[in-house]
Structure 1
């Protein structure tokens, strides 16, 4: 079960990094300058971010919005510089959807730029990017039944994409 959870988290990071990077690269302007979601994107005004800084930004925004973190096993050591995963303990939040929205608002205020949002059948998935990282916030379900709210971020570098793919391949063999 533990391995399945981190595999799912890592797969989500791979999809968000690959998907957002490919989408951004496809939309480059005629100057040839990659957009921020691209793996070749330069750091934005705040300088480059590392996984610890991204984790702190997510935790600060989420806790200020009324969430506490639900304990998890975490990612494998080889991915800790490339990915961050934070799951809200929705049972402890007064209004989980309001806290989700407030977390995203705080992240955007902190310089994260919205790339896209998708709403479908009880789910909201929002991607934002900053300094070579793509963060996907997701809310699935309803507070009165079953609700899962997560914030996962991936470093868009080729090195990290390779590390994530290698870790996924190893996990699929075992």
Structure 2
């Protein structure tokens, strides 16, 4: 129960960050021209009806993280069924990773090669949080593995108006239960 509320709060932060960023067309500063053309499930054309799905985002995170040496923590955050196409939470089992910091760096590098654009990065006291964006999705990649707690999480939220409404409804439902 506590974890579900934490994910809901994380989603709110991601949506807040997404809402404060530039929404003027999704062009990346300093990004390569091929980054936009590698969007999963589409030809990379501008506009169109194609949307990056929660399933595609889950696959991208899973492929990047497992390729970097992580295994998924099966006790990680559970997303409400109605929000599964709008939100993804992937928690690494930091205890099983040989070098969680390197695996985190490699995961983020693979995601950026796959079209995710790094927008912000912050770090303090051995923790690193990177904000990445692809299409209407915001991804918070968090690495808190420097201390005794080996926590590495990837939480992505679709900031489209339709998904914002779905997530707000799921959060409201979670508050009443």
Shorter-chain TM-score bucket reads: 0.7 to 0.9
TM-superposed deviation, 1:34: 3.5
TM-superposed deviation, 1:123: 1.5
Structure number with the bigger relative contact order (C-alpha 8 A, sep ≥ 6) is 1
Q: Determine the structure 2 residue equivalent to 1:40.
A: none
Q: Report the Cα distance in structure 2 between the residues aligned to 1:88 and 1:95, rounded to whole angstroms.
A: 12
Q: Report the Cα distance in structure 2 between the residues aligned to 1:62 and 1:157, rounded to whole angstroms.
A: 25
Residues 99-154 of structure 1, C-alpha deviation per residue, up to 9 Å, x if partnerless?
Answer: 000000000011110010011222211011112111110012425x1120000100
Match 1:135 to one of 128, 132, 139: 139
Contact 2:101/2:145 (8 A) holds in 1: no
1:89 is aligned to 2:80 = no
Describe the SS at the equivalent of 1:92.
coil
Q: Output aligned runs, 1:20-39, within 5 Å.
A: 20-25=18-23, 33-35=24-26
- Taking only aligned residues, the RMSD between alpha carbons, in angstroms, comes to 1.7
Q: Which runs of 5+ in 2 are unaligned?
A: 29-35, 43-50
Contact 2:94/2:145 (8 A) holds in 1: no
| Segments ≥4 residues shifted beyond 4 Å | none
Residues 9-28 of structure 1, C-alpha deviation per residue, up to 9 Å, x if partnerless?
Answer: 12212211221232224xxx
Match 1:158 to one of 157, 161, 166: 161
Contact 2:117/2:133 (8 A) holds in 1: yes
Describe the SS at the equivalent of 1:91.
coil
Q: Report the Cα distance in structure 1 between the residues aligned to 2:128 and 2:160, rounded to whole angstroms.
A: 26
Contact 1:139/1:149 (8 A) holds in 2: yes
The TM-score with structure 1 as length reference comes to 0.84
1:6 is aligned to 2:4 = yes
**Number of residue pairs matched by the alignment:** 158
